[in-house]
Amino acid sequence: MSRVCVAICNYNHEKYLEESVRSIVEQDYADLDIVVVDDGSKDQVLAKEITNSFLDKRVRFLPIENNRGKWNALNTAFSTTNAEVCTSHDADDISLPWRISSQLLSLQQTKTAHNLCGFKHCWSEEDVLEGRNQERPDSLRIFGSDDVFKVVSAGYQTLGINHYYTGNFETAGVSAMFVKWVWDIGLRFNPPGSGIRVRHSEDSDFNTRVTLSLRSTSVLAETPYLYRRNTSTNREET
């Protein structure tokens, strides 16, 4: 069994933060280091109060004084953990209770170092409620490293694609789960626009570099991540 660090990046998303953190606290996998890393929110006091209201020793608050972007928040959070496995979660999104355990199982079954899962586009709260009704499948669909590498490398070689391309099955970049040594050897998050050609976001850049360099990425072909659209407020990244 591995301890999993979940970095919840927050920037002015206090409206959704309690629900977001709760979705991780209520995971059916218990051995978690839950880091709410606040990237210089305007009301950082409120973000801290929401985080500390859980009274759960697994949850901790990590403030960053000035907004620098999600890439820096993730690197900061992972630099503070001794967990064997790392993943992230956005402060305005929801993970279904079986997300962490299913991705961890995907890593173990495929013997890979990096895994992503699918997600539900949630344009409204009605979409969120519908997404919450998904139950954990009896048998998980998992794509192995060879299949994932072929699709991602094909997308990378297609100049019109400027994101982490996984073919017909769409993955959530924020769902990246990886063995901590991936980060320790220097595969870290970069500011958007400063990495390789795939620079649509720090997530796409990171996942592409890991997949192409290690050839050890698997995909959980289920959708336990609920992605709220049109709620991003992080417009002050540098």
DSSP H helical segments within the chain, as ranges? 14-25, 44-52, 70-78, 99-110, 125-132, 145-156, 180-184, 202-214
Find residue 7's DSSP bridge partners. Answer: 35, 88
pLDDT digit string, tens, across residues 90-104: 999 999 999 999 999
pLDDT digit string, tens, across residues 174-186: 999 999 999 999 9
Which are the contacts of 45, defined by CB distance < 8 A and separation ≥ 6?
none
φ/ψ of residue 86, rounded to 5:
-125, 150
pLDDT digit string, tens, across residues 8-25: 999 999 999 999 999 999
pLDDT at position 233 is 53
Q: DSSP character for 143?
A: E
CATH 3.90.550.10 matches 4-228: yes
| Measured distance CA(222)–CA(141) in Å, rounded | 7
Per-domain residue ranges for the chain?
4-228
Find residue 157's DSSP bridge partners. Answer: none
Assign 206 a pLDDT band (cuts: 50, 70, 90). very high
